[in-house]
């Protein structure tokens, strides 16, 4: 049982996962978001401006082996020029990994 502040803060709890992206001829690595990153995404979504949300999720999830993000939020426009199918696949896996419920699943709830 974890019962101390230091025990919680010392946990390596950010999960990584590979995603196959045939459009790019390879796999990419994604990771779970931190609480602060998730807050940033939630602010974006709650502001009602969903333009670039898929790209933002990709930018906030794709990482290298060390878990460092490959893209910054400044790269969203460039990511938007990539295959929609590839971006959608990565974003969906990142949403699953981060426990994000798609908008269509929230309707009627």
- Cβ neighbours of residue 41 under 8 Å, at least 6 residues apart? 33, 53, 56, 57, 60, 100
Half-sphere exposure of 38 (CA within 13 A, CB side): 13
CA angle 92, 29, 67 (to 5 degrees): 115
Instruction: Give the predicted TM-score (pTM) of the model.
Output: 0.85
> Residue 45: beta bridge partners?
none
Task: List the domains of the chain with CATH numbers.
Answer: 14-99 (3.30.2220.20)
pLDDT in tens, 30-64: 999 999 999 999 998 888 878 899 999 999 999 99
- pLDDT band of 102, cuts 50, 70, 90: low
Q: Is the pLDDT of residue 65 over 60?
A: yes
């Amino acid at each position: 049982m974890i019962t101390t502040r230091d025990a919680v803060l010392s946990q390596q709890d950010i999960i990584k996962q590979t995603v196959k992206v045939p459009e790019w001829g390879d796999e990419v690595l994604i990771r779970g978001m931190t609480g602060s990153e998730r807050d940033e995404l939630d602010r974006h979504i709650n502001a009602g401006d969903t333009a670039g949300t898929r790209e933002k999720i990709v930018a906030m999830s794709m990482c290298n082996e060390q878990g460092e993000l490959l893209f910054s939020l400044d790269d969203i426009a460039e990511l938007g020029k990539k295959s929609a199918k590839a971006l959608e696949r990565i974003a969906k896996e990142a949403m699953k990994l981060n426990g994000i419920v798609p908008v269509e699943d929230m309707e009627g709830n």
